[in-house]
Structure 1
Amino acid sequence: MILIILSLGLIGFIVGYLAFKKGWQRHLVGDLGLVLLISAAVLMIGNDNNHWGMHQTTTTKTTQLTSAVANPYVKLLLFEPVKKSNTEKVYVYRTTDSKKRQNTAVSLTTHNQATTANVTTAKLTTKTTRWTYDNQFWRWLYADTGTHTTLVKRENTFILPKTWATLSISQAKWLETQAKAENAKAKTALKAAVTAKVTAVKTADPTLSATQLATLTKAVTQAAQKDAKKQAPALIAKLIKQAQARSIH
């Protein structure tokens, strides 16, 4: 509507002072058009620069999170440094209702932080502050002039259980490589340990049948796998500390 008022004021001003050479009609139409033109311009500038007719409103949304990387021993929240910064980060996360990874925005209006707390589930709390109109009159007045809910700021807070870890993409890649290497070493060591134990039993009792040896091998293997599974969380925790000690770039 403000654009219509601006147009009417401009037309009135031009017509008033060009179509009417003199007399009260010239002043009535021309001066009224000038008043409308100036008023509309002032209102538009005031709204654009000082948000006249608007106020800030804040909405809060909470989303449940799951690990950005599938791992049975640890859950991760990832981030990527912005350029070479050590403080500005883009967080990479995954919600419980989506299989796709998502990331926070890179902008001057977005602030991200991650913190741990005594909670059992990870969540993302997003507070979004926007300029909105005071009432329908102001919305009607500034209709068709562009965006009506200008973003002021967005605050993303990741609240994580203490069992979670936060790593950069680079650190996570290093962790994945090291975990695969340790897994390969563990499989080789497990196979050697099983073979040695079965061989020792077979040497001590050569009368064991093939069936008995197969049963023994299975039992020894299961026991070794169970023991390795117990040691896995401690190994992953050690690797995570090593990963966090590395550069985030």
Structure 2
Amino acid sequence: MIIVLLLLFVVLTFVSWIYIKPVTLRVIAGTISLVLLMLSVWAMTVNFTDHFGMKKVTTTKTTQIYTAGDTSSPANMLLAQEIGTKSNNYVMVYRDKASDKKPAVHNKPDTKHIVEAVKKTATYQTTKGSQATAKTTTTRWRFKNDFYKMMFGVSDQQNQLIKQHTLVRVPSKTWVVMTPSQAKSLGAKQKQMPMQAQQAQQMQMKQAVQAKMMAYMQAHPTATSAQQKAQANAYAAEIATSALKQQDSK
């Protein structure tokens, strides 16, 4: 609409100063049309430079995430690779759904749209909670109302990204955070372990879970079968995660 008004005021300014004969009427009409033309140019300029008629709108979305590792393992894994040095901005790998066959890569810079890519950042934290989540906060430009949208909609600035940040939170007891190279090295170590050593490790973990469950049942004698199963899974995840961290530190 602003383009149409701009062209209209150009024509009116030209007609007013050239074709209107009475001097007084010419000056009045010419001045008004010229002022309107200048205002139109100003409005269009500040819309492009300072987003005139627009506001920042921030939305937040939090979703549960799932391990990037083997889904049969009680321990959960988040793969995180820092972009650059000391940027606190990471490319991360995890599953968006428990049913996903393969984990997905998140926050990988899109080299084809580098201007938008630099506006997206991601980092992670370990917490004392029991659920792993990804919280994405997105800020975009939106027109203040339908009038401004009608006037400047041609600029294609509606929903233009300002910034986006994803914060991944993973429980420290049941999740391990590694770089892809660390995960690859750990996988190689596990494959090199003798079968007897692997079986012995699994037996130790099983016995540790049983010992913890005995203590749990003594403290919670009325726990349902579902509660018992959930607690046993939690203990298994804690013990498996602790074992992974110890292997990674060796």
Aligned partner of 1:46: which letter?
A: V
* CA offset digits 1:195-239 (Å, max 9, x no partner): xxxxxxxxxxxxxxxxxxxxxxxxxxxxx94x4413463643322
The correspondence of residues 153-172 of structure 1 with structure 2, limited to 5 A, is 153-162=163-172, 163-172=174-183
Greater than 6 Å deviation, 4+ residue runs:
none
- 1:104 counterpart residue number: 107
Partners of 1:148 and 1:88 in 2: how far apart?
27
Larger of the two Rg values belongs to structure? 1
Is 1:237 aligned with 2:245? yes
**Offset at residue 148 of structure 1 (A):** 1.1
Is 1:180 aligned with 2:191? yes
**Offset at residue 84 of structure 1 (A):** 5.3
Moved more, 112-121 or 122-131: 112-121
Paired positions, count:
204
Moved more, 232-241 or 15-24: 15-24
The correspondence of residues 1-249 of structure 1 with structure 2, limited to 5 A, is 1-19=1-19, 23-24=23-24, 26-27=26-27, 30-70=30-70, 72-83=73-84, 87-96=88-97, 98-100=100-102, 101-106=104-109, 107-162=117-172, 163-182=174-193, 185=194, 187=195, 189=196, 225=199, 227-231=200-204, 233=240, 235-242=243-250
**Offset at residue 125 of structure 1 (A):** 0.6
Q: CA contact under 8 A between 2:123 and 2:166: conserved in structure 1?
A: yes
Q: CA contact under 8 A between 1:68 and 1:77: conserved in structure 2?
A: yes
Q: CA contact under 8 A between 1:119 and 1:161: conserved in structure 2?
A: yes
Aligned partner of 1:123: which letter?
A: T
Aligned partner of 2:123: which letter?
A: Q
Q: 5+ residue gaps in structure 2?
A: 110-116, 206-239
Question: TM-score, normalized by length of structure 1?
Answer: 0.70
**Offset at residue 58 of structure 1 (A):** 1.3
Partners of 1:175 and 1:158 in 2: how far apart?
23
* CA offset digits 1:155-207 (Å, max 9, x no partner): 2111111121111122222222222222xx2x2x46xxxxxxxxxxxxxxxxx
Question: TM-score, normalized by length of structure 2?
Answer: 0.70
Task: Provide closer, same or farther for how the CA distance between residues 84 and 116 of structure 1 changes in structure 2, counting only shifts above 3 A.
Answer: closer
Q: CA contact under 8 A between 2:48 and 2:155: conserved in structure 1?
A: no
Partners of 1:85 and 1:20 in 2: how far apart?
68
Partners of 2:244 and 2:131 in 1: how far apart?
20
Q: Percent identity?
A: 27
**Offset at residue 240 of structure 1 (A):** 2.8
**Offset at residue 25 of structure 1 (A):** 5.8
Q: CA contact under 8 A between 1:15 and 1:29: conserved in structure 2?
A: no
RMSD, aligned CA: 2.7
- 1:205 counterpart residue number: none
